[in-house]
Amino acid sequence: MPGEVKVMTRPEGKGSYVRAALKGMGVTLKHMVDPHKVTQQYPEEKWELAPRMRGTHRMAVHEDGRSKCVACGLCPTVCPVNCIKLIPAEDENGERYAAVYEIDEFRCIFCGFCQEVCPVEAIHLSVHYENAEYSRERWVYDLERLCEIDHPYTALWDPADPSSE
């Protein structure tokens, strides 16, 4: 019924806050003696990342520094957010290569489909998340930049067993 308030009586002997305050101070004192860390001093101290974490892309390269990408077009096809741009072309040896290969890391959702679908194990995700840029354009990584990235590969891909056999 509106306007009617249920009044509860305070239990005898439990009305004092002294006991609770002392208990809280006890916790504080305990932490003074045993400095159990809760706050992490980022960026001086960093998280230990899971080896299977999916982060920033990197492109695998041949020994001579060329990217391993054969411009097959499967990653832009499978990408659910259309963040990969690829224009294939023919190089001087008549081989197919990526004349333009760009990944918009800002738009990417790091699902890892591109890595999964790649037939030549060229594009990978890496265990890395610390990216910051002054402009949005800088978030579009071109092929050169992707090739230079050297963060560890995500453990979703095992270099010892590249085709997951």
Partner 1 sequence: MYRNVKTAELVSLKIDGTEISVPPDTSVIEAAEAVGVLVPRYCYHPGIPTRPAQCRVCLVEIEGQPKLQPSCKMSVQEGMVVHTASEEARSARRSVIELLLVNHPLDCPICDAAGQCMLQDYAFETHQLASRLNEEKLVMGRDRIADDILYFADRCIICTRCVRFMREVAEDDALIVAQRGYRAYIDTFPGRVLDNPFRGNIVDVCPVGALVHEDFLFKARFWDLDQTASVCPGCSTGCNVTIDTKENQIVRLKPRHNSEVNSYWMCDHGRKHLIMSNRGLRPEAPLLRRNGKLVPTGWGDALTWVAERLREVPSGMAIVSPHAANESLFYFRRLLDRIGIAGGTFRVERGEEAILSGFPKLQLRADRAPNASGAELHGFERFDGSARSDPEGDAVAVLEDPLAELPEEWGRQASFFLYVGNRLSSAARNAHAILPVTTFAEMEGTFTNFEGRVQRFHQALQPAGLARPAWLVLARLVSLLEDDGDGGAAAPTLASEAFQVMVGDTPAMAGLEWASVGLKGARLGSTEAAVLQAQAPVEGA
Q: Which residues of the shown chain bind partner 1 in the complex (CB under 8 A)?
A: 70-74, 77, 88-90, 94-96, 119-120
Residue 22: how many CB atoms within 10 A of its CB? 9
Q: Are 76 and 86 contacting, i.e. CB atoms less than 8 angstroms apart?
A: yes
Nearest to residue 63, comparing CAs of 164, 158, 157, 147? 147
Is the CB of 78 or the CB of 149 nearer to partner 1? Answer: 78
Closer by beta carbon to partner 1, 95 or else 142: 95
Question: Closer CB to partner 1, residue 74 or residue 127?
Answer: 74
CB of 107 to partner 1, least distance (A): 18
Q: How far is the CB of 136 from partner 1 (least distance, A)?
A: 22
Pairwise CA distance, residues 8 & 155, whole Å: 59
Q: Closest distance between partner 1 and the C-beta of residue 70, in Å?
A: 5
How many angstroms separate the CA atoms of 130 and 7, rounded?
Answer: 55
Distance in Å, CB of 34 to partner 1, minimum: 58
Position 60, amino acid: A
Specify the residue, 89 or 109, whose C-beta has the smaller distance to partner 1.
89
β-strands 84-90, 140-141 pairing? unpaired
